[in-house]
Structure 1
Amino acid sequence: MEVTPEAPPADWPAVPALPDPATRRVVTSGLAAELAYAFGGPFHFLLPDAFTANLAAMQRAFADAGVEGFVYYAKKANKAAVFVERAAAGGAGVDVASAAELREALGHGVRGADLMVTGPAKDPALLRLAVQHGTTVAVDALDELDHVVCLASTGRVRPARVLLRALPATQPHSRFGMDDGELTTALERCREAGDAVRMEGFSFHLSGYALQPRADLAARLAGLCRTARLQGLPADRISLGGGLPVSYTGAAAWRAFLGAQRPAHYHAGRTFRTGDFYPYHAPVAGADALAALLAIRPEGSGRTLADLIGAAGIRLAVEPGRALLDRAGATVFRVQGVKERDGYRIVTVDGTSLSLSEQWFGSEYLPDPQLVPRQPAPAAGVFPACVGAATCLESDMLTWRKIAFPHPPRPGDLLLYPNTAGYQMDSNESRFHDLPLPPKAVIDRTDQPRPRWRLDRHFT
């Protein structure tokens, strides 16, 4: 059952993270402080048991709905090797979009047959590797299909496996996918390619997190599968893409924050449009969202998506990233300096906002950071503070919002940003100022009084 954390005073709207016992043990055991000392700078810690649990829950959602389904972990959400290893061990595949990601996945135990290659205008080297290893290619354009056919026609024993990516009618300005006319042409070319290509079905990806449009488009593509079969093509699979939401905070806290936040709550009066924030509370999230999607009745159908897909003999796939990484890691910085300014504090930490990527999308990573005092904390109170980076850029702020810390931040204290494994901790990192990238510590045993850790085995 979800426990809604208690919100601080209304004068300082907050986004308290949902409780996470594994993260709490890393702090209370002293391991976070030990790692900060060992690394001498910011670091991430990874909790792969959470990934394994999230994956198992999604697989159960398929089974409970009576649907033959398969989960591909969207590797772009986090570069760590341990999550690829857990995907392979858990019977999942990996969604990749570059030759480097494909090689990483193969090197960490994922079979070529369990890889999905996505993305637009794929590099020829990537397509060549995909065809060689029997990987499924989600074809984004007609010229890309021609390239795959050419690669597959040069003396190969087995056919190239492809899905045709559809342009959603509800998002006609997307730069991804093929429209109805292009899909018709693609089917003709797949049929003409004969044994060189195995056209296995269709794929799509919708922006946003609404479930009904996904069910509607999946139902439409099921009809296209029937059309393709009449033309002699296998067409027995549909990939629903990603977009399963994650819930970082409770419903009441999120509503209170959105209703109360204003420029005065941010350093320098910074303004954010609420529509630009990730929806940090989701009433139905992760595997529960997948189960809800399968239970939806597509528009014009009297049956659920699960029943419709089952009757058509179609297998479903999903490509979640963030949803598999829910509560699977956190990011830790050390406080380097604190200054007083206009009734609040400006905290400077030993890292940059490149490790909290929402900043670089013109938004803010909103779950409240946790202050971990280096020494016994003084009397509790409310001590608002924003968080800046150790760079020479005015705009390099980890947290523009004035966080209502329960103790005054001091140099040497730690700031722990919760639940950052999904896209936050490495998607935009760079060696700005020649600073090293924060290392990743894998916490293998959080069920022990003293958690065990090791460095992640990412190859590149």
Structure 2
Amino acid sequence: MSNLPTLTPITSPWMHELMAEKSLLDKLLSKYGSPINIHHADSMEENYKSYQTVFEEFGLKYKIFFARKANKTKGVVHKAQELGMGIDTASLQEYTQCLEMGIAPEDLIVTAAVKNTKLVEKAVANGSVLILDNVDECELVQQVAAEQNRKARIGFRLSGFYCNEKKLYSRFGFDVLDIHKFIIENFVESKRFDLLEYKGLHFHLNGYSIEERSMALNQCLSFSQLLSNNGLKTEFIDIGGGILMNYLKYETEWDHFNEQLRNAVTGKVDPITFGNQGLGFERLDDNLYGELKAYPFWNPVTKGDFLREILSYKNPVEESLASLASNLNIELRMEPGRSLLDQVGITIAKVAFRKQDSLGDWLIGLEMNMTQMLSGSSDFLLDPFVLYQQEEEEIQPVDVFFTGAYCLERDLLLKRKITLPRLPEVGDIVVFVNTAGYMMHFFESSAHLFPLATNLIWNRTTEDGKIELAHFQNDANL
């Protein structure tokens, strides 16, 4: 057995309460199948308050929208609504479902990458703000507004900001250098888009740089002043999402993992991933190239502190962005997804088999597939928990890979090799924690006609403290 790096996740008491109830989890798996996603929506409140506190600390007008695409359950949408958040929707289905749940149209914003006619028709009819990315969308919204004989409320998504003399690329939005001319020609000097009622600005940035977000916000605030000189009032500026959170207990473990991954790829130590995958790193002629393509699971500056640094950023005339926004009477908005779902969900699955492959590695097959715990990250870098059916005192450590049910060689639930205290048995339960944000649903598919995982909402409030099946509600029935 090798000395593999560990990555110990931050967990919440509710997770350990459930993991202590192995017989209950067995019953849930028997009733709903494997895997199951369990949500504790009340955990969203602390995350929301981390942002709310900072906005109020600066005395700003603000609105926080939950990025619905991060998790498809209605339970977390209900909780976001209860806390006073708006909802950022990215499809006709998301938008329609929110309306059917009773969410007010003014609390919905449409930021979809592709806005088809039906989505635009519904958003215009209900008066929700549409964030527009290109001229074709402007023309579509103008046409729909004319057909409905009403104004359409819109914002512009901007891109191409400058940071340290480098132009930041995004495939979304109008280029910041071109949009002023476009607006003047089509909104001020002509009536081409006279049914589009301008409300604000929006931006989307790849990555998680505080400096880049600060520079983008500063350039949006400056642009809003330019628009004001032309008679267009900017009511809001939306900084989007990508606000960092922290998954891990120990920075030292994160540093050690990164070091060992590099060492493994360059052949200095035994592989720590399946097939010695570099997760973004690769070896060419004994040199290491690339960078880690995973989410930065360890972060010292997160959530509200991350936001505070953006708002505290001082522009070239030494005015903080918070002060400038306040002086311009502009509402600042944001659309976090992952960070609002911190500590909100776990995914549990049943062990189907154990085997050693031709290389001698132990493969633990679970009744789930890789799409049921998959995001844009190259791997989910948290140690899982194994709930053994049989309690044994003897520790017999074993290194394993967790594999899935798709007929693909690459169906690895975790590319990392994991050290367990002993080999699991068939029927044991594996728990992946903190999976609610982007991991459960973003790429989930039903190849082989496998059903999608059941999503359960758990309310911990019980009179006698006993946890029963009846306390778990199928989100599909909400």
Q: TM-score, normalised by structure 1?
A: 0.92
Question: Which sits farther off after the overlay, 339-348 or 321-330?
Answer: 339-348
Secondary structure class of the residue paired with 2:476: coil
2:173 maps to 177
Q: Cα offset for 1:34?
A: 2.8
Secondary structure class of the residue paired with 1:399: coil
Aligned pair count?
447
2:254 maps to 254
Question: Which sits farther off after the overlay, 161-170 or 28-37?
Answer: 28-37
Distance 1:53 1:362 in 2: 25
1:38 maps to 31
1:271 maps to 278
Question: Which sits farther off after the overlay, 263-272 or 323-332?
Answer: 263-272
Letter in 2 for 1:24: H
Is 1:189 equivalent to 2:186 in the alignment? yes
Q: Cα offset for 1:392?
A: 2.2
Distance 1:129 1:83 in 2: 23
The one-character-per-residue Cα deviations of 1:128-154 (angstroms, maximum 9, x if unpaired) are 111111111111012211222232234
Distance 2:209 2:389 in 1: 43
Distance 2:102 2:238 in 1: 22
Q: Cα offset for 1:302?
A: 0.8
Secondary structure class of the residue paired with 1:145: helix
The one-character-per-residue Cα deviations of 1:237-258 (angstroms, maximum 9, x if unpaired) are 1000111012111312111111
Question: Which sits farther off after the overlay, 323-332 or 144-153?
Answer: 144-153
Distance 1:101 1:79 in 2: 8
Determine if contact 1:25/1:446 at 8 Å carries over to the other structure: no
Distance 1:458 1:117 in 2: 25
Residues 1:187 and 1:411: Cα distance change in structure 2 (over 3 Å):
farther
**1:333-412 map, 5 Å:** 333-341=349-357, 342=359, 344-358=361-375, 361=376, 363-412=378-427
Question: Which sits farther off after the overlay, 176-185 or 70-79?
Answer: 176-185
Question: Which sits farther off after the overlay, 53-62 or 193-202?
Answer: 193-202
The one-character-per-residue Cα deviations of 1:376-398 (angstroms, maximum 9, x if unpaired) are 14422422110111232111110
Letter in 1 for 2:301: V
Letter in 2 for 1:161: R
The one-character-per-residue Cα deviations of 1:91-133 (angstroms, maximum 9, x if unpaired) are 1111112111100111223211111111334111111111111
Q: Cα offset for 1:196?
A: 2.9
Q: TM-score, normalised by structure 2?
A: 0.88
Gaps of 5+ in 1: 1-8
Secondary structure class of the residue paired with 1:218: helix
Question: Which sits farther off after the overlay, 52-61 or 139-148?
Answer: 52-61
Letter in 1 for 2:214: A
Question: Which sits farther off after the overlay, 271-280 or 74-83?
Answer: 271-280
Secondary structure class of the residue paired with 1:457: helix
1:4 maps to none
Q: Cα offset for 1:401?
A: 1.7
The one-character-per-residue Cα deviations of 1:253-312 (angstroms, maximum 9, x if unpaired) are 1111111232511233333225211100111112221222222224x1412221121111
Is 1:71 equivalent to 2:64 in the alignment? yes
Question: Which sits farther off after the overlay, 181-190 or 45-54?
Answer: 181-190
Residues 1:155 and 1:35: Cα distance change in structure 2 (over 3 Å):
closer
Determine if contact 1:85/1:109 at 8 Å carries over to the other structure: no
Determine if contact 2:2/2:399 at 8 Å carries over to the other structure: no
2:227 maps to 228
The one-character-per-residue Cα deviations of 1:52-79 (angstroms, maximum 9, x if unpaired) are 3212322222111211111111111111
Equivalent pairs: percent with the same residue?
A: 27
Is 1:22 equivalent to 2:8 in the alignment? no
1:454 maps to 473
Q: Cα offset for 1:10?
A: 8.6
The one-character-per-residue Cα deviations of 1:17-46 (angstroms, maximum 9, x if unpaired) are 113212111111344333123223211101
Determine if contact 2:351/2:367 at 8 Å carries over to the other structure: yes
Distance 1:109 1:292 in 2: 35
Question: Which sits farther off after the overlay, 340-349 or 327-336?
Answer: 340-349
Question: Which sits farther off after the overlay, 335-344 or 111-120?
Answer: 335-344
2:129 maps to 136
Distance 1:102 1:187 in 2: 31
Distance 2:476 2:307 in 1: 31
